[in-house]
Structure 1
């Protein structure tokens, strides 16, 4: 290989001065600038040399934006995302044919000249003068590399891109100085490597590796002669020579490159002829960019990962810093998503709810004790067409959720029970729990007591649900009036303090309001929030913040660098005894209560059903000691009442939390737990009530879950509530206000279950 011409020991400024008379003229020719007089050229040259000295000397190669790969926890690819599809490779990973082809067509004297090619400049000046216009340029590969650096730094800012590519003499002078620096600093091989990695090859492919994959579905190291010539020819005009859209023009350009390779003796005339007669033989790979292309139904989880990256300060102090790092890419993100669990979630959703149904479902699985999100899916796929959505129904609004979460119904009641147990109430606690009643008033809060100013009332699901009840039975039957009495007894403050520890907030990020109706699940909460909170029961009182990312590496200068990632923070939210008691209570919901259709037969499990006012939402949230999951079913716009409805091709006269979400949860958990350990809960002995004191009839359906936010619903007449069918009414641990047992006329909503 001939030795490159150096600057003879001259500084960059001295080299520029030596070449400036010619390079300024070449720059003018390239830019289409008319310089008719020698005097004008002299002045321009003089001014340019002075400006040249003012250009900073330290050109730094920009960090090339590359594709980011998102993986599951087993290393399987979920998706690739990028602002520019590029995979940086070293020169030895690029076909020798490709290296020769690009040099032959773009800068055949690349190895003979320095940063600027004097012969090339003079040839261009002469040719352009003969043509009376600008027919030929004279930029070397090094100068083109510098220009591409400027374009890369400009990113997607149209103003900066225009400045980086403007055809002015000033830009050419700046380009020249930096080209000289690169020649001295990098050498020819590194310049060629950088050029092949930064150049745009059309069809969203930046760099030769992405181009080889896009057009031929192979790595750049395996490109043959005619394939290399085709790619080299595209560089001059990616749109004009695009082989996907104009095969004839692409072949013509390819053959020009092959002819040039023969002329500079890179290949023989016979090799050129054979390659020129070859077909294009494209094997195009469609660009797969973004979470919309994610496999395993993981598009919404993928977007959640992206949102975590763009919002967590661990990746940058400002949103601009985080966005820059994300767009720069080159990341390999290993997530917490378990492919077995994810498949089970998607299979269960698909078998129970159709994409075209008037209601949707969302399910999320979380690992207790670690906070790892192992599964996340929903029935309406990611997209912008009919029955598709870009909103993630499993998460809060600021992480891609659609609104304020969804009212949770009776799935909120275990939080009230846990708060009461933490306050010292026994697990045998009884309350009158009549069929219907007014909200007690006043009720203590963390501040000013709540009062029932609007005379709001509530009832249980059926008249047979008429107390008194102990906690175990009330939880299994999901008795509304019991838990309203409980929260009124202990006060609302202990409940919201506990839910604060469980990070239970509304879907818009607001804290829960201090009103008794929160026990009925009247406020919207995201499934991920509920799954993480219930995982606290499974882990015996330890709450762990949910996480989606296990590790991230970034390719920088050909090396892999590990980045810091968010860690789950685990804190004690309740005592082990309280968690164990709740586990015992919620095991009863599955064994003999409203959640029997959700029960897992081969392992310890617990959970709670929930159905909200007018049956607009139905839930099942449950767990085993090693996996927790939340399933929501309803209308994202909250405009469908789930009565006389077909879901997944099955007719339902009334939808309950145990009837639709329960089986979805059961199937999702069953598949996710195949081959996993089957630990047991630490159960608490909760005595059953004396038989002679209880006669309440059948368990019935899932009862009493949250009403609308304003409790407006079916008006309940003020008929006398029953004290029970033959059961005695124990004295509660708080005074019973006027009208507590006797229902009062009001506008309160009836809370279904």
Structure 2
């Protein structure tokens, strides 16, 4: 009875084998007409996809020295390598165990297929397979690349005549179109090796910390053996099983004559030699450490430049960034020196931008906060250095009022009146302020030590509020706000989430003179870029973190960066920078400059907000620009005190932009400014030295 069942199995299997051959050789054959007609409809398209051979690859973000910052992948962590970047031992190992007649068959091992059919028939179940490496490549490509739904994945592995006929025909086509080495290379670059590693390069790095080209015979044998079942054959959970499978591969290599038996025996006597734990890098910016803020900003920048996150996750891109690791390290150190990473409720951020007329490169982007997900340890992944933050930059915004007035005829040597108090109608409402009339904007100076008037350059250095509120009332709120947007505060011109009008329109529509006192949240990288614009002769460029992008072949990928534009007259920019150069010498930043022995030309402006809830310092030379902002990041802004930096009651709050913000800037920039080029002083153009009288001469 058993013999009859065996004969029945054998007969059925032979019929199936014959059907497979018939289905491959003849598009429509007898009862197989429906099956093979259906198969034929998909063979050409699958063959075309496979000949292209495009697979998802890991993208890498590099700093300016070429060191990796972060890696990105979707479902498959893979890095394709060329044939000559895969060791000969690896190729021999996988061919020996998976398809010893690989180099002589035509993509299908007919002898093996019939042998497997007989074996399976005799056993009464599937005991042996006969798929070639080419067929395995076809099946894996359909499963890992072409199948995007669970139904498609099931179809790619279905044990049906239709699927088998299709895969055989595709394999035959590929064998004719592609060389053996190309098929083998693609196969090794495609298949999973467990622990998140797809392809031989990722596998070599994951298990041995080396490149695929350096794999030895025993290492290659282990990886070739794991192809059978990358989940079950895990060297970290199944050492015995992986060792036995590796040894089987070594025996097969010896039996096939590709290595001497003595070498196989020696290799079998060695341990697996894998790393203590799988070397799988973190996926995304979370693996970038404190470069994570920059990493996130770069991804955001790429998205606006036409490169989607999907392209980053699957395209095998190399993202060349502008991040200077030396400047970045110095920036981070300068921030935490003044504001420890675990300081409760207070963050310190600084972006360093390189001026230029063709690009403004972001060299560093940091927060005193550690980039991470553990809120209990004061970590954050929020975009503090490139989002609207804090209560404002305070008097730094007096730069915009001055620039707008200079466009209308104000000179740096012209004199500004500095009354102790100022009350203005039609420029906002200070409702609730003691002694301020209704529907009136009232302002007074930070202290009583100011003189009654100052030249513009000294007013910028000493920063009396009334002088600049009076100035904005003369030059106009709208031109001042527009100047801020032109010089770099571009997000002010865009309606932000949760708002119905842009920040710029809010101030212009309300004709609010308080704009000159910096009373609205600021984007630190935009404020840093304001300095870069003035340092670049009035040329604005987007603050870019990306130098270029290449695909997996090394070809350049288009990055649609916004074009640079001249926004103010070069002489105006230089003259305003010259006027700002007195601040670190005799103004509110002089003390901080002295603490580090700063002697180079520098243009700067400090800023302190009402109740000291947010304070800033903008400094720039012809080689570097940066804005440091210290703000309450708890969600409920509180006043701050200096030395040490801390929260304190508003009545005693005394933090100013010339304290920790300025000291952070100098601590960060002083150690690296010498390596960024020769620093030269900005020139005061004669036509901007003394104005045309529009704002009154003394």
TM over 0.5: yes
Contact 2:606 2:658 in 1 (8 A): yes
Residue 250 of structure 2: aligned partner: 258
Residue 32 of structure 2: aligned partner: 45
Which deviations, in whole Å up to 9, do the C-alpha atoms of 1:8-60 show, x marking residues without a partner?
xxxxxxxxxxx9941767999xxxxxxxxxxxx99763322222332252523
Which structure features the higher share of helix residues? 2
Three-state SS of the structure 2 residue aligned to 1:211 is helix
CA distance in 2, matches of 1:156, 1:529: 41
With normalisation by structure 2, the TM-score equals 0.84
Residue 431 of structure 2: aligned partner: none
Contact 1:291 1:300 in 2 (8 A): no
1:470 is displaced (CA, Å) by 4.3
> Unpaired segments of 5 or more residues in structure 2?
1-13, 429-436, 497-501
Contact 2:107 2:175 in 1 (8 A): yes
505, 518, 522: which one pairs with 1:521? 518
Three-state SS of the structure 1 residue aligned to 2:674 is coil
65, 73, 76: which one pairs with 2:67? 76
The answer to whether the aligner puts 1:576 opposite 2:570 as a matched pair is: yes
Residue 400 of structure 1: aligned partner: none
Three-state SS of the structure 1 residue aligned to 2:551 is strand
333, 337, 343: which one pairs with 1:347? 333
The answer to whether the aligner puts 1:361 opposite 2:352 as a matched pair is: no
CA distance in 2, matches of 1:261, 1:336: 48
1:659 is displaced (CA, Å) by 0.4
1:668 is displaced (CA, Å) by 1.6
1:516 is displaced (CA, Å) by 1.8
479, 482, 491: which one pairs with 1:497? 482
606, 609, 624: which one pairs with 1:612? 609
Contact 1:505 1:511 in 2 (8 A): no
Contact 2:392 2:518 in 1 (8 A): yes
585, 590, 594: which one pairs with 2:584? 590
Residue 366 of structure 2: aligned partner: 377
Three-state SS of the structure 2 residue aligned to 1:602 is coil
Contact 2:17 2:117 in 1 (8 A): no
Residue 400 of structure 2: aligned partner: 415
* More off after superposition, 636-645 vs 343-352: 636-645
The residue correspondences of 1:526-565 to structure 2 (distance < 5 A) are 526-556=523-553, 560-565=554-559
The answer to whether the aligner puts 1:306 opposite 2:284 as a matched pair is: no
Which deviations, in whole Å up to 9, do the C-alpha atoms of 1:140-159 show, x marking residues without a partner?
21111112222343487656
Three-state SS of the structure 1 residue aligned to 2:615 is strand
Contact 1:598 1:665 in 2 (8 A): no
1:74 is displaced (CA, Å) by 3.0
Distance 1:20 1:493, change over 3 A: farther
Contact 1:506 1:523 in 2 (8 A): no
Distance 1:95 1:42, change over 3 A: same
The residue correspondences of 1:281-320 to structure 2 (distance < 5 A) are 281-283=273-275, 286-292=279-285, 297-313=290-306, 315=307
Contact 2:193 2:223 in 1 (8 A): yes
Which deviations, in whole Å up to 9, do the C-alpha atoms of 1:490-512 show, x marking residues without a partner?
11121122223224144775442
The answer to whether the aligner puts 1:472 opposite 2:457 as a matched pair is: yes
Which deviations, in whole Å up to 9, do the C-alpha atoms of 1:642-696 show, x marking residues without a partner?
43577579999622111001011112221221243121211368999xxxxxxxx
Three-state SS of the structure 2 residue aligned to 1:59 is helix
322, 325, 330: which one pairs with 2:311? 325
1:615 is displaced (CA, Å) by 1.6
Three-state SS of the structure 2 residue aligned to 1:383 is coil
Distance 1:442 1:230, change over 3 A: closer
Contact 1:534 1:622 in 2 (8 A): yes
* More off after superposition, 193-202 vs 345-354: 345-354
Q: Compute the RMSD of aligned alpha carbons.
A: 3.3
95, 107, 116: which one pairs with 2:87? 95
105, 111, 132: which one pairs with 1:113? 105
The answer to whether the aligner puts 1:622 opposite 2:619 as a matched pair is: yes
Residue 390 of structure 1: aligned partner: 381
Which deviations, in whole Å up to 9, do the C-alpha atoms of 1:387-437 show, x marking residues without a partner?
1111221113xxxxxx56652211111011100111113334555543334
Three-state SS of the structure 2 residue aligned to 1:310 is helix
CA distance in 2, matches of 1:611, 1:247: 63
CA distance in 2, matches of 1:158, 1:23: 31
Residue 484 of structure 1: aligned partner: 469
632, 636, 641: which one pairs with 2:638? 641
Contact 1:88 1:209 in 2 (8 A): yes
Distance 1:615 1:650, change over 3 A: closer
Which deviations, in whole Å up to 9, do the C-alpha atoms of 1:46-102 show, x marking residues without a partner?
322222332252523332222223222233333333333322222232222211211
CA distance in 1, matches of 2:237, 2:567: 61
264, 270, 275: which one pairs with 2:262? 270
Distance 1:184 1:25, change over 3 A: closer
Residue 458 of structure 1: aligned partner: 443
Aligned residues: 639
Distance 1:391 1:608, change over 3 A: same
162, 175, 185: which one pairs with 1:193? 185
Three-state SS of the structure 1 residue aligned to 2:366 is strand
CA distance in 2, matches of 1:536, 1:375: 17
Residue 681 of structure 1: aligned partner: 682
Distance 1:630 1:200, change over 3 A: same
With normalisation by structure 1, the TM-score equals 0.78
* More off after superposition, 322-331 vs 461-470: 461-470
Contact 1:395 1:405 in 2 (8 A): no
Distance 1:584 1:272, change over 3 A: closer
CA distance in 1, matches of 2:350, 2:487: 19
Three-state SS of the structure 2 residue aligned to 1:528 is helix
* More off after superposition, 204-213 vs 474-483: 474-483
Three-state SS of the structure 2 residue aligned to 1:552 is strand
Contact 1:24 1:45 in 2 (8 A): yes
CA distance in 1, matches of 2:86, 2:416: 77
CA distance in 2, matches of 1:155, 1:623: 54
Three-state SS of the structure 2 residue aligned to 1:565 is coil
CA distance in 1, matches of 2:389, 2:667: 27
CA distance in 2, matches of 1:324, 1:182: 29
CA distance in 2, matches of 1:606, 1:481: 22
Residue 198 of structure 2: aligned partner: 206
Distance 1:24 1:641, change over 3 A: farther
1:633 is displaced (CA, Å) by 1.1
CA distance in 1, matches of 2:15, 2:309: 41
CA distance in 2, matches of 1:357, 1:646: 13
CA distance in 2, matches of 1:65, 1:246: 29
Distance 1:533 1:550, change over 3 A: same
Residue 11 of structure 2: aligned partner: none
Distance 1:354 1:92, change over 3 A: same
CA distance in 1, matches of 2:636, 2:211: 52
